Chains A and B, each alone.
Chain A
């Protein structure tokens, strides 16, 4: 059974490489039961949206 540390590590790695089935299934089982890790998974997407926006110059603007 995956713990939260390993589950978040897999979700982080999924940003760099596709996960294998033997990684996906235990991860899915874990996140079904763990709201914290479910939120973490969603936040990986949010972080990417944020970093992409920042790299387009959305940050660092003067106060409007």
Chain B
């Protein structure tokens, strides 16, 4: 095999990904949605996706399949978003996160002694793997995420989606460590409650009915 042929062989899969406009448009749409959620700024989101796409295109040839390519694109996008969030702290005052919903009432979840209200006690979810394959689950997941108070959603996404460390988040949004822990605790309490009610308990109801 000549060098030119080898080249063609190696490039085959990647090049076909790049000419698949339906696949690319679909992935771009998903990336924009993800970036907008993290940055809450449509313009910045568009820019981040653009840069990630260009970066990913350069290396498209080294990917054998769509799944690997998509994972790679999202990894690049995550890095871009992390950079933007870190940089924001120095340019824009996002300190609007401040304190705020600190005095949130948790009495619907816990009784006066801090124990679970009977009907709020978490139930067993089982293995999440099968759940993740169901597209309806992701709609429930997104709805629950969007239902979080804005500050909680913000720090939760910075921590869990972009995987910033606690100290990076504290610096970016001007929070103390203990405030951050409080916000993340609440976001997880709410998110798990929502997913449990809207997905796991609904599911059980369906099973009982059928």
Contacts and interface: CB of A to CB of B under 8 A. Distances in A.
Interface in B54-106: 70-71, 73-75, 78, 106
Interface residues of B, number: 51
A35 interface: yes
B159 interface: yes
Interface of B: 26-27, 29-31, 33-34, 70-71, 73-75, 78, 106, 109-110, 113-116, 121-125, 128-129, 131-132, 135, 138, 141-142, 159-163, 165-166, 180-182, 184-185, 188-189, 191-192, 195-196
Contacts, number: 120
Q: For B71, B116, B121, B159, which residue has the most chain A Cβ atoms within 10 angstroms?
A: B116
A6 B31 CA distance: 37
B181 A51 contact: no
B142 to A, nearest CB: 6
A49 B129 CA distance: 8
A12 B160 contact: no
B123 A39 contact: yes
A55 B110 contact: no
Given A4-B115, A60-B33, A55 B161 contact: yes
Interface of A: 3-6, 8-9, 12-13, 15-17, 34-37, 39-40, 42-44, 46-64
Enumerate the 10 nearest inter-chain pairs by beta-carbon distance, A residue then B residue, closest first.
A3-B114, A36-B121, A59-B138, A51-B160, A5-B114, A39-B122, A12-B185, A55-B161, A46-B128, A16-B166
